[in-house]
Every structure is written in structure tokens, then in C-alpha cells.
Structure 1
């Protein structure tokens, strides 16, 4: 048994670090979400909605995003029509938690790891805002493709970005890069 523990030590350290970080960050996020009442929209989702609206206004789209009066989501009004909603799951925090957990599990030097995590979070956030903005426009023009666009294509883009960041991290900066 001891031989197996020695042989698989790097893998076991990776798995335990990944799950410890993932569970801790998920619990902290859950505590954050629990600080809001049932019909409130959390602050991160509000900021994402505001940034989506700002980005779309830069490109002269007729969009208005505001909190639903009765529910815990943001209503997206596009071309003066209620079109879609932005819910807590759209803010990419769960994707960011996954990204951070993986980078921590393959950590390198502290400063490099912290810098990469912060830049990765920023990049994921920006991609997410752009993703939602494009999705709003595409769903307006192609409502029959809602399931494909929302359920397949755009998740593939955001998770694809995270995967590419992971590959870059492991090959260039992690302690296993050499």
C-alpha cells in the first residue's frame, strides 16, 4: 500500500488540492449567495448584467437590462421586447471556481500563480460578458436555435477558453512545466 501512495503521490496531491480548493470556494460562494433574499439578484450577477448592457450600448444595440420585479433574475429587453433573462448561473462564478481550483492544484511560484489566476478570472469575466451579449442578439434573430446556442455552443466557448488557459498554465508556468 505504501508503494502505491509513493507512486501516486503527485496525483493524490493534485486531486486533494483541487477538491479542497473547489469545495472551499464553492462553500464561500454559497455563503455569499445565501446573504441575498429569495427575490434579490446577487451583486455579481447585477454587475455582469450592467456590463452586458454597457457593451451592447457601445455597439448601438437597443437593450435595457433591469431586475425583475417579482423574481431573482435580470430581464433583458432587446428592441423594446422582453427577450431573455440573466440568472445567477450566467455570471460565470462557477466556471471561475473550477478554473482557480485547477490552477491551484497545479500551482507554481506564488506570484506567478496569483497573477495567472487574476488574469484568468479577468479574461473569463470579459469572455462571459461578450458571450451573453452575443447570445442576446443571436437568440433574438434565431429563436429556434435557443437550445443549441445556449445549451451547447456558448458553454463550449467558455469551457473551451478555460481548457486552453489550463493547457497554457500547465505547459508554461506550473511546477510540472519543466
Structure 2
């Protein structure tokens, strides 16, 4: 048994570090969310919503966001038509946690890791805001395509970006970079 632990030590170390980081960050995020009253939107989701509204304003003055009075989400209006709601799951924090966990599991140098985590998280955040804005406009023009756009195309987009960042990290900056 000891032979297998020695043989697979790098893989086991990666798995352990990845899951430990993921669990800790998810726990911290859940604690953060508990700080908000039921039926109140958290500040990160509010910020994502406001940034999405600002992006949409670049394309049409007839777009806006509005907080729901009864539920914890923001209503998104495009061309004065209610097209989407932005809920806590839309803020990409879970995607950023996944990204950070992977980078930490493959990190060696603290400075490079922190810079890549910061830059990558910022990129994911910005691209997520554009994802929501684009999705809202496409739902306005192609409402029948909403299940495909929301359920398939845009998750592929955001997770594809994360995958590319992971590849860059492993090939250029991690301890396994050649």
C-alpha cells in the first residue's frame, strides 16, 4: 500500500489540496451568504447586476435592472421588456472558487499564484457580466432559444474560459510547467 502512496503522491497531493481549498472557500462563501436576510440579495450579486445594467446601457437606453420586492433577485429589462432575473447563482462566485481551487492545487510560488488568481478571477467576473448582458439581449431577440442559450451555450462559454485559464496556468506558471 505504501508503494502506491509514494507512486501516486503528486496526484493525491493535487486532489487533497484541490478539495480542501474548494471546501474551505465554499464554506466561507456560504457563511458570507448567511449574513443576508432571507429574500434579500447579496452584495456580490447586486454588483454583478449593476455592472450588467451598465454594459446594457452602452447598447440601449431602454435597459435597466430592478430589485424584486418579494424575492432575492434582480429583474433585468431589455428594451423595457422583462427578460431575465439575476440570482445568486449568476454571480460566478462558484466558478471563481473552482478556478482558485485548481490554481492553488498546482501552485508553487505565492506571488505568481496570487497574481494569477487575482487576474483570472477578475477576467471571469468581467466575462460573466458580459455573458449575462449578451444572454439577456439574445433572449429578447430569440426567446424560444432561451433553454439552449442559458443551459448549454453560455455555461460552455464560462467554463471554457476557466479551462483555458487552467491550461495557461499548468503550462506556463505551475510547478509542472516545463
Range class of TM-score, shorter chain: over 0.9
Paired residue for 1:54? Answer: 54
The match for 1:97 is 97
The DSSP-based 3-state class of the residue aligned with 1:72 is coil
Q: TM-score, normalised by structure 1?
A: 0.98
Structure 2 length normalisation: TM-score? Answer: 0.98
User: In the alignment, which residue of structure 1 is the partner of 2:40?
Assistant: 40
The corresponding residue for 1:177 is 177
Task: Judge which range, 30-39 or 77-86, deviates more.
Answer: 77-86
What's the offset of the Cα at 1:84? Answer: 1.0
Corresponding residue number in structure 1 for 2:118: 118
RMSD value, Cα = 0.7
What secondary structure sits across from 1:83 in the alignment?
Answer: strand
1:72-151 equivalence runs, <5 A: 72-151=72-151
Q: Which residue of 2 aligns with 1:68?
A: 68
Q: Provide the C-alpha distance between the structure 1 equivalents of 2:11 and 2:112, rounded to a whole number of angstroms.
A: 22
Unaligned stretches of 5+ in structure 2?
none
- In structure 1, what is the Cα distance between the partners aligned to 2:152 and 2:61? 25
Instruction: Write out the 4+ residue segments of structure 1 that deviate beyond 4 Å after TM superposition.
Output: none
SS at match of 1:75: strand
The total of aligned residue pairs comes to 178
Distance 1:52 1:62 in 2: 13
Between the aligned partners of 1:136 and 1:70, the Cα distance in structure 2 is: 22
Q: Determine the C-alpha separation between the residues in 1 that align with 2:116 and 2:96.
A: 12
Q: Deviations over 1:43-83 (max 9, x none)?
A: 00000000001111122341110210010000112222222
Gaps (5+ residues) in structure 1? none
